[in-house]
C-alpha cells in the first residue's frame, strides 16, 4: 500500500470515528434532553456536572474575576433551566449553553465594568485560581520547583495578556484555543459569519502575540 493510500485510509478512518463519536454524543444528548423536558431534576444535575467546569472556566477567562465568573456561571445554568422549554435543539446543547454563558458574561462585563478602563486580569488571581495539587504536578512532569514557579508565572502572564485583549476577540480566541471549538461551532455559538470568526481569531492571535512576545 502506498503512502498516499495510507493517508487516504487514515482520513477515512478518522472521519468515521468522528461521525460515530458525534452520533453517540447526539444520542446521549437527546436522551438527556427528553429527561430534562420531563422535569427530571437528576438529569439537570447531570447536565450541570457535565458543563459546570467549562462554563465556569469560560466565564472566568472572559471576566477575569473568580466571583463574577461564579455568578455568571450560576446565572447561566438558571437561564438554561428556564429556557429548556424553548430549546428546539436546532443547535447542539453545548453550543446553546455556551451562547448563554457568553451573553451572560458579556452583559456582566458591560454593566458592571463599564467604568473600569483597565480590563486586565490580576496576576494574583490567575495564579491563585489554579487548583492543581503540587503532588499531581510533580508526578506529571519532572519539573523542578523553580521550573514550576516559572511556568506558573508564565501562565499567569498569558492569561493576563488574554484579559487585555478586546472582548470580542477574547471570546473568539477563548472558544478556539481553550474550548477547542471549530470555526463553524464558534460561528454558530456567537451567531456571526465565518468571515467574522476568522477575522476575530486572527486579530485576537495577533494581539496575544504582541503581548506575550517577551515570554517567547
Partner 1 sequence: MKCKSFKSIASEYLDGELGEREAGECRLHVAECSECRDYVGDLERATSMLKRTHRPESPRELRSYIMTAVGRRVSGEITLEQRFVEWLARLNPRVVSYATGTLMSAVLFGMFISAARSIPAGGPTPVEASITPIVRGSDLEFHSYNDLPADALLSSAGHSYELPRVLDNGALVSFSHIAYSKPGDEGLAAMVEVSPDGRAQLVDILGEPSDPHLVEQLWWSLGNRTFQPAYVEGRAVSTRIVLFVEKVDVGG
Task: Catalog residues that contact partner 1 under the rule CB under 8 A.
Answer: 39, 41, 44-45, 48-49, 52-57, 60, 66, 70, 73-74, 77-78, 81-82, 107, 110-111, 129-132, 154-155, 158-159, 162, 173, 177-178, 183, 198, 201-202, 205-206, 208-209, 212-213, 215-216
Map grid coordinates 467574522 to a residue: 196
Three cell numbers at 210?
Answer: 504582541
Shortest reach from residue 214's CB to partner 1, in Å: 11
Number of neighbouring beta carbons within 10 Å of residue 86: 6
Nearest residue (CB) to partner 1, 28 versus 210: 210
Distance CA 69, CA 58 (A): 8
* Helices and strands: H and E segment counts in the chain: 10, 0
Shortest reach from residue 27's CB to partner 1, in Å: 25
Distance CA 143, CA 157 (A): 19
Three cell numbers at 47?
Answer: 447536565
Nearest residue (CB) to partner 1, 29 versus 205: 205
Indicate the DSSP class of residue 177. I
Nearest residue (CB) to partner 1, 1 versus 85: 85
Nearest residue (CB) to partner 1, 146 versus 214: 214
Residue 45 has φ and ψ, to the nearest 5°, of -65, -40
Distance CA 154, CA 148 (A): 10
Shortest reach from residue 78's CB to partner 1, in Å: 6
Shortest reach from residue 177's CB to partner 1, in Å: 5
Shortest reach from residue 21's CB to partner 1, in Å: 20
Cα 3 to the chain's mean position, in Å?
Answer: 37
Residue 208 has φ and ψ, to the nearest 5°, of -65, -45
Three cell numbers at 148?
Answer: 514550576
Task: Collect all residues with Cβ–Cβ distance below 8 Å to 25 and sequence separation of at least 6.
Answer: none
Nearest residue (CB) to partner 1, 1 versus 116: 116
Shortest reach from residue 135's CB to partner 1, in Å: 15
Nearest residue (CB) to partner 1, 24 versus 41: 41
Amino acid at each position: 500500500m502506498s503512502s498516499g493510500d495510507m493517508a487516504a485510509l487514515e482520513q477515512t478512518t478518522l472521519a468515521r470515528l468522528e461521525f460515530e463519536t458525534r452520533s453517540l454524543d447526539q444520542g446521549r444528548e437527546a436522551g438527556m434532553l427528553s429527561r430534562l423536558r420531563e422535569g427530571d431534576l437528576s438529569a439537570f444535575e447531570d447536565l450541570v456536572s457535565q458543563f459546570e467546569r467549562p462554563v465556569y472556566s469560560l466565564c472566568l477567562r472572559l471576566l477575569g474575576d473568580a466571583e463574577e465568573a461564579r455568578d455568571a456561571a450560576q446565572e447561566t445554568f438558571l437561564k438554561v433551566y428556564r429556557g429548556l422549554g424553548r430549546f428546539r435543539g436546532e443547535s447542539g446543547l453545548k453550543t446553546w449553553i455556551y451562547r448563554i454563558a457568553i451573553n451572560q458574561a458579556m452583559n456582566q462585563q458591560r454593566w458592571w465594568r463599564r467604568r473600569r478602563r483597565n480590563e486586565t486580569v490580576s496576576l494574583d488571581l490567575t495564579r491563585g485560581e489554579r487548583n492543581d495539587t503540587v503532588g499531581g504536578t510533580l508526578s506529571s512532569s519532572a519539573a523542578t520547583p523553580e521550573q514550576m514557579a516559572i511556568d506558573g508565572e508564565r501562565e499567569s502572564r498569558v492569561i493576563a495578556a488574554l484579559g487585555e485583549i478586546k472582548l470580542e476577540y477574547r471570546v473568539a480566541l477563548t472558544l478556539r484555543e481553550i474550548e477547542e471549538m471549530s470555526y463553524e461551532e464558534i460561528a454558530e455559538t456567537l451567531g456571526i459569519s465565518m468571515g467574522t470568526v476568522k477575522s476575530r481569531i486572527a486579530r485576537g492571535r495577533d494581539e496575544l502575540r504582541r503581548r506575550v512576545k517577551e515570554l517567547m
